[in-house]
Structure 1
Amino acid sequence: MSESLNQTAPVPAVEAGPRRVVERGERRFVLLGTAHVSRASAEEVRAEIETGDYDQVAIELCDARHAALTRSRELADMDLFAVIKNGQAGMIAANLALGAYQQRLADQFGIEPGAEMRAAIAAAEAGQTPLTLIDRNIGLTLKRVYRGIPWWQRATVLAGLATSLVSSDKISEEDIEQLKEGDMLEATFNEFAQQSAHMHAALIDERDQYMAAKLLSAAETPGSTLVVVGAGHLKGLAGYLEAGMDDPAGRIAALDTVRPGARWVKWIPWVVVAVIIIGFALGFSRNIGLGWQMVVEWVVINGGLAALGALIALGHPLTVVTAFIAAPITSLNPTIGAGMVTAAAELWLRKPRVGDFSTLKSDVTTVRGWWRNRVSRTLLVFLFSTIGSAIGTYVAGFRIFGQLVGS
């Protein structure tokens, strides 16, 4: 399990992908199930499109995943600070981690990530056949997964996902068999999806509905559509197509909606800040020495843990100092996070080079690569210093409360 992924193994031979044919109104849908670890799937997709029997090709990709496959320059054009400022750092990191999982498969089996989808795109363009992206945005899917599980399970899922995606272990035979029959996202979250009905629903069933609704929206026009999807979606997608939908557009809109978090959660940081400020005031009113002791402990605990996070991310020494100074201040203003300040410092001190963007996808396939690449390391500085500051806020807050009660 711990052997290097640099040694490639022969690609397992697989039979032609399964298929289902569904007719709705004037439109005929040919659903072709593909295997994620087979060159044969890519070849079969290409050959099927080249028959000229289809006036439309639909593939299991969203705009973001399509861009990742076809527009590699987008990473180089990414405004990293804008990404962090807009609160998208976590999502970018998650997408990179999922891409790293796919790249590990490529390294182990000598295949190209998304080979069957690339083949579909290329063949459709060559034959001037209209191409339709039918999958839901990966960001929305991950958000619905995150929102749908209890809050106490989220940390476990995120930690387990991060560990499994950057692990240097080879993909097991059991995982490979699932990838032949299943879905890349489901396989990535497999351990947790088996324990959570909502997670499985968001990853598979909801996307089956979404893709069916996208296809049914154009079912009134006569013709034939080749639908290229992972084999794990074949049964569910065919079922929804056969059953039909009264309002496909409405179903799409509903599945594109992310349930908002509980309103009271948004007030927690402000309540914590109010409690801490009141604690400082009470401390100084009782004893000047006690008040200054609280302030010192606040700075040391909050700043120290944020600095530790930046240090773990191997941030620049001045970034670590910035984290120590900024965290105690930003923690008293929930609108500005310590991670945003430390990330800005890291970007100023170690501006990512063109090469960092060009090698980003390959670098994040290893633990060392996350820390070596300046782009991914900046994301780690943001995430770890944010986590450190958050922990420091609550630890220091409880410490202040305890001193008030005990004095």
Structure 2
Amino acid sequence: MSQEATDTGRVRVVGTAHVSAESAEKVQSVIETEQPDVVAVELDEGRYRQLRGDEPDDLAAADLLRGNTVFQFLAYWMLSYVQTRLGDRFDVQPGADMLAAIDAADATGTDIALVDRDINETMRRFWNRMTRIEKIQLIGGLAVGAGNGLGIGLAIGVIAGLFFGPLIALFGNTIGITSALLTRVAGGALLALATGSVIWIGAATILSAEDRLLAAVGGGIAVGGIAGFGLGIAEPITTQLGPLTVRVIGSVTLGLAAGIIAGTLLGELTDIFRTQQPEENIEEFDMAEMTDTDVVSAMMAEFRQFSPGGAEALIDERDAYIANRLVELRNQGQTVVAVVGAGHREGIERYLTHPGTLPPQESLTGTQSGRIPWSKLVGGSVSAIVIGFFVLLALSSAGNQTLLRLFGAWFLINGIFAAGLAKAAGAHWSSSLVGGAIAWLTSINPFLAPGWFTGYVELQHDPVNVSDISTLNELLSDEERPIGALITELLEVPLFRLIIVVAATNIGSIVASTIFVAYLLPLFALDLGGVSGVVTLLIEGARNGWQIIWTNIT
């Protein structure tokens, strides 16, 4: 603890561990002894209300879905999850120190000042300051904490496999993947799908859902691999499908197989690595040491190693923000006891001693990062190219029928994948259909995503509440719960289901766009005379467009 005083007022900073029962008792004792004019706590309005047990607000659709807010919320959830797990280990409610300060202030009739920056503002700046690699590590850490490595690896493998498929279709010939091989693979895939469907339906009254799934997948792979791919007995069927269909099914199947194998290996390695890690005996820590400068400094240094930019937004900027508020109270002649996390104490005291070094409060809000938005620039360029492609074809002699077929294929493939994956993730029909209907447009617009529209409609059915985070933390803290039951219960939480639905819709649209470029555009190019024919039409369209513009301006 420390005291900083001026001729007008005085601030005493109490550094605490947010999950320490001893810290809570110490806070109450200091407030009762000091009898300050104001008790300042490291809370904003929303967290203060939640800590006091007020009914949490529903999250507004616009606030939750715009920009990167879903990912910011995931980051906030991860930080909350870590704090909850620590609280469980030490059998104390997270935030007990702040609640003790509030209760002590209420008991003595002392004013309470909420001096922390709004958590939403902090998380926006936290997310924007992190690099892409750090963001992947952060979300990946939450995913690994939510389930076993094999399940996470398989999920990643399936997603990666959907992207491998188009690459195989485009460049497979260069690595020896022939049409004959794709035909065998496609036949195996069709037999696997048919066999799995028969087992799933036939075992409905015999096996549990989990056992049915394992039997269907295992039986389908066995029959498809041996009879379809190995013996080629499905070739009479695949020859009737046409070369394009065989190419699509075969390459997607190969991509999924490669992704699932890689994901399985990754998951197994992750589980092995985790089991070999020595378990930390956290219970042996003396909780009094949680506020010691050396322990806190070590924790802060570790976080800065992971993400220097994130640490700046989460720690340094909040030090300055809180210190600005405390200096204001001190200059008003108030005697203040400020209860803050131990990690903020040193920085706040430094600013209180040298207030001239404080950055302006307005510089600690907003989300401008000063970085060039490369992703938006690239996305905008891709959008301009796609739109220009359609416009130039429309101005050429390609014909309206060709354009309608091209646009219809773009609309359908985006709609089917976006709506299909959204529905598979648990979205209502109205939500998934809205996302599917808008996917064709959002696929070429880097500033929109079909998941936002799906999520917006989904929120009309199931509002999301900040209390969902506590529910998710409770589920993830139960290490004995089977992974199947955990996933089922997680999907019953509106916040988790919304995040999955939004992500699934966006992934569906991305996969559809990739498949369109890899599979369907080459087919249309053949109808238009191959690459040279398409280039000729584009040049013709550009010439006609210029003539129209020149005619109008002259």
Per the alignment, residue 341 of structure 1 pairs with 453
CA distance in 1, matches of 2:32, 2:346: 25
Residue 47 to residue 138, structure 1, CA distance change in 2 (3 Å): same
How do residues 46-61 of structure 1 correspond to structure 2 at under 5 angstroms? 46-61=28-43
| Partner-residue secondary structure (3-state), 2:331 | coil
Per the alignment, residue 258 of structure 1 pairs with 367
Residue 40 to residue 120, structure 1, CA distance change in 2 (3 Å): same
Verify the 8 A CA contact 2:56 2:465 in the aligned structure 1: no
**Cα offset for 1:82?**
4.2
> For 1:43-92, what per-residue CA distance to the aligned partner results, in whole angstroms no more than 9, with x for missing partners?
111222122532211111222322332354133xx254344465554444
Verify the 8 A CA contact 1:269 1:334 in the aligned structure 2: yes
Per the alignment, residue 125 of structure 1 pairs with 106
How do residues 110-189 of structure 1 correspond to structure 2 at under 5 angstroms? 110-150=91-131, 152-153=132-133, 155-160=135-140, 162-163=142-143, 166=146, 173=280, 180-181=290-291
Verify the 8 A CA contact 1:60 1:230 in the aligned structure 2: yes
**Cα offset for 1:291?**
4.5
How do residues 103-114 of structure 1 correspond to structure 2 at under 5 angstroms? 103-114=84-95
Per the alignment, residue 414 of structure 2 pairs with 302
Query: Which residue among 224, 234, 238 is the counterpart of 2:349?
Result: 238
> For 1:146-186, what per-residue CA distance to the aligned partner results, in whole angstroms no more than 9, with x for missing partners?
33344x43642453354366468999748897993599x99
2:308 is the counterpart of 1:197: yes
Verify the 8 A CA contact 1:36 1:180 in the aligned structure 2: no
Query: Which residue among 493, 497, 515 is the counterpart of 1:377?
Result: 497
Residue 33 to residue 157, structure 1, CA distance change in 2 (3 Å): same
Verify the 8 A CA contact 1:301 1:392 in the aligned structure 2: yes
Per the alignment, residue 351 of structure 1 pairs with 462
| Partner-residue secondary structure (3-state), 1:364 | helix
Residue 157 to residue 218, structure 1, CA distance change in 2 (3 Å): same
> For 1:321-360, what per-residue CA distance to the aligned partner results, in whole angstroms no more than 9, with x for missing partners?
4433331144356675412321244345x435xxx75962
Residue 50 to residue 181, structure 1, CA distance change in 2 (3 Å): closer
| Partner-residue secondary structure (3-state), 1:259 | coil
Structure 1 range deviating more: 306-315 or 34-43 = 306-315
**Cα offset for 1:114?**
0.8
**Count of residues in correspondence between the two structures:** 379
> For 1:225-254, what per-residue CA distance to the aligned partner results, in whole angstroms no more than 9, with x for missing partners?
1111111122221112112227x6x62111
TM-score w.r.t. the length of structure 1 is 0.75
Residue 205 to residue 81, structure 1, CA distance change in 2 (3 Å): closer
CA distance in 2, matches of 1:61, 1:133: 5
**Cα offset for 1:105?**
2.9
Verify the 8 A CA contact 2:44 2:119 in the aligned structure 1: yes
More helix, by proportion: 2
CA distance in 2, matches of 1:154, 1:318: 35
CA distance in 1, matches of 2:373, 2:521: 25
Verify the 8 A CA contact 2:416 2:436 in the aligned structure 1: yes
Per the alignment, residue 24 of structure 1 pairs with 6
CA distance in 2, matches of 1:217, 1:50: 23
Percent identity, aligned pairs only, is 29
CA distance in 1, matches of 2:35, 2:424: 56
Segments of structure 1 that go 5 or more residues without pairing to the other structure are 1-18
2:506 is the counterpart of 1:386: yes
Verify the 8 A CA contact 1:55 1:129 in the aligned structure 2: yes
Per the alignment, residue 472 of structure 2 pairs with 364
| Partner-residue secondary structure (3-state), 1:219 | helix
CA distance in 1, matches of 2:4, 2:76: 33
Structure 1 range deviating more: 302-311 or 203-212 = 302-311
Per the alignment, residue 62 of structure 1 pairs with 44
Per the alignment, residue 14 of structure 1 pairs with none
**Cα offset for 1:104?**
2.9
> For 1:234-276, what per-residue CA distance to the aligned partner results, in whole angstroms no more than 9, with x for missing partners?
2221112112227x6x621111233166477656555433322
Per the alignment, residue 331 of structure 1 pairs with 443
| Partner-residue secondary structure (3-state), 1:33 | strand
Verify the 8 A CA contact 1:310 1:384 in the aligned structure 2: yes
CA distance in 2, matches of 1:402, 1:342: 31
**Cα offset for 1:390?**
5.1
Q: CA RMSD in A?
A: 4.1
CA distance in 1, matches of 2:292, 2:393: 59
**Cα offset for 1:120?**
0.9
CA distance in 2, matches of 1:399, 1:283: 19
CA distance in 2, matches of 1:217, 1:204: 20
TM-score w.r.t. the length of structure 2 is 0.57
**Cα offset for 1:115?**
0.8
Per the alignment, residue 340 of structure 2 pairs with 229
Verify the 8 A CA contact 1:98 1:165 in the aligned structure 2: no
**Cα offset for 1:295?**
3.3
2:212 is the counterpart of 1:212: no
Greater Rg over alpha carbons, structure: 2
